[in-house]
Structure 1
Amino acid sequence: MPRVLTRFIEEPQVFACANCKTHLSTEGNIESKDFTTQNGRGFLINKLINVTNGPSADRSLRTGMHVCQDVYCVTCDTNVGWKYIKAFNQTERYKVGNFVLDAVKVINYHWESVD
């Protein structure tokens, strides 16, 4: 299996995959902390790195029908959330192009404190 090259965020605190600590985003990219996933709390994020996208699929969410893609950590292939591709309701279209991170699948990682 080829080595996965990941990007590193040069900020002291980042959101990282809870499984392997691969950097995913920063708190500055949060659009909203008021989202819910199947596992509980989630964050609407405008930018993620080090992820791959799954296939598009229609989903019936609390706010209506959307087309979404699951997003996976490039290092360990953990599903860390999803990306909004299309919103059928006009009031939900602000989500398109953004991601939802599942809070139980990521950690707020302070990498400067690690030896």
Structure 2
Amino acid sequence: MSNDSNNYPSSSRRESTPRKLPAPPLAQESKRVSRPLPRIPRALVCKQCGTCITSHNVLLPTSAIPPDSRSFRGFFGKASLFTETYNVALAKPGVQLMVTGAHTMQEVTCGICLSYLGWKIVRAHEKTESWKDGHFLMELENLYVQPDLLNPRRSSSGSDSDYSP
């Protein structure tokens, strides 16, 4: 029986020696720039069945909302505009007369328990309101913030009627 290591000439075999790594830069040499951490998404869930409906990270940014339109109200109280929703069912579009004019809207219900959650604004008929097109007006009374499982001190109580994003 032959030893495989003897089949190779000794000149072609290299001994593995640890490489020397460069020393890390000193603290004063470091040019690291501190960046804020991204916002951790907190799920908003259906108050009736707990199904995830949307999250904080898809709230319509304040910069996209005109200054005179920052306080949204639904049929049951405070509401917020979101760019995306999940696990929902949309009703047939219809025209609704709102304080800000006529809008073609679809009722949004929970895809699991069919509880009313808000509206999808398909089209605002007033040109000044067209920035709302395609967004979801979710009534906060029908949703609650899913408790933060990683940090129990930050978890919310059951109702978010005083929730302000």
For this structure pair, what is the TM-score category when the shorter chain's length is used for normalisation?
0.7 to 0.9
SS at match of 2:92: strand
TM-score with structure 2 setting the length: 0.59
Q: Is 1:13 equivalent to 2:42 in the alignment? A: yes
In structure 1, stretches of 5+ residues that fail to align are 1-10
**Match 2:109 to one of 52, 72, 95:** 72
Partners of 1:74 and 1:109 lie apart in 2 by 17
Partners of 1:76 and 1:44 lie apart in 2 by 22
Which residue number in structure 1 is paired with residue 85 of structure 2? 48
Q: How many residues align?
A: 104
Change (3 A) 1:12 1:27: closer
Contact in 2 for aligned 1:12/1:110 (Cα 8 Å): no
Q: Radius of gyration: which is bigger? A: 2
In structure 2, stretches of 5+ residues that fail to align are 1-39, 63-69, 156-165
TM-fit CA distance, 1:12: 6.3
Partners of 2:148 and 2:89 lie apart in 1 by 23
Partners of 2:118 and 2:131 lie apart in 1 by 17
Which residue number in structure 2 is paired with residue 24 of structure 1? 53
**Match 1:88 to one of 125, 128, 131:** 125
Of Structure 1 and Structure 2, the greater strand share is in: 1
Partners of 2:107 and 2:41 lie apart in 1 by 27
Aligned-pair identity (%): 24
Q: What root-mean-square deviation, in Å, do the aligned CA atoms of Structure 1 and Structure 2 show?
A: 1.8
Which one has more relative contact order, counting CA pairs under 8 Å at least 6 apart?
Answer: 1
Q: Which amino acid aligns with 2:111?
A: V
TM-score with structure 1 setting the length: 0.83
54-63 or 104-113: which moved more? 104-113
Partners of 1:56 and 1:73 lie apart in 2 by 17
Change (3 A) 1:19 1:90: same
Contact in 2 for aligned 1:12/1:111 (Cα 8 Å): no
Partners of 2:132 and 2:77 lie apart in 1 by 19
